[in-house]
Amino acid sequence: MANFMQNLKELNQLRQTAKVIEKKLREQKREFSSRDGRIKGVINGKLEILSLEVAPELLTAEGKAALERLLMSTINNAVSDMQSQVSKVVSSQMGINLPGLGF
């Protein structure tokens, strides 16, 4: 019975740690931009894009293909960067090193 109670206590602590981690991830925000600066935005720790700005010259029929390539590259880089930040937050809260944490 004592072992069961200890397991419940550990489970409760794990839930509390998970809540702290989730809150910290929501608070994490990073700005990102394409190399040429024509696409800019903000991403949070839950990997949600909070804002996105696109230079007007990319919003033409001729700029469509370039826009698509730049968006994919820029967003993928932002997600990768934020995943590294998420790994640091989770590692610091759980007291363990999770170098390859990815979603």
CATH number at residue 10: 3.30.1310.10
Residue 99 lies in a domain: no
- Total number of residues shown for the chain: 103
Residue 103 lies in a domain: no
Instruction: Give the pLDDT band (50/70/90) at residue 103.
Output: very low
pLDDT value at position 20?
86
Residue 102 lies in a domain: no
Query: Residue 101: is its pLDDT beyond 70?
Result: no
Task: Specify the pTM.
Answer: 0.67
Residue 8 lies in a domain: yes
Query: Which residue range is the domain that position 8 belongs to?
Result: 2-94
Residue 7 lies in a domain: yes
Residue 100 lies in a domain: no
Residue 85 lies in a domain: yes
Instruction: Give the pLDDT band (50/70/90) at residue 100.
Output: low
Rounded Cα gap, residues 66 and 43, in angstroms: 22
Using left for φ > 0, alpha for ψ between -120 and 50, and beta otherwise, residue 34 falls in beta
Domain total of the chain: 1
Written as six digits, the tokens of 95 are: 């007291």
- Label the pairing between strands 29-33 and 49-54: unpaired
Tell me: the pLDDT tens digits for 1-45? 778 888 888 888 888 888 888 888 888 999 999 999 999 999 998
Tell me: the pLDDT tens digits for 46-91? 899 999 999 999 899 888 888 999 999 999 999 999 998 888 888 8
Residue 31 lies in a domain: yes
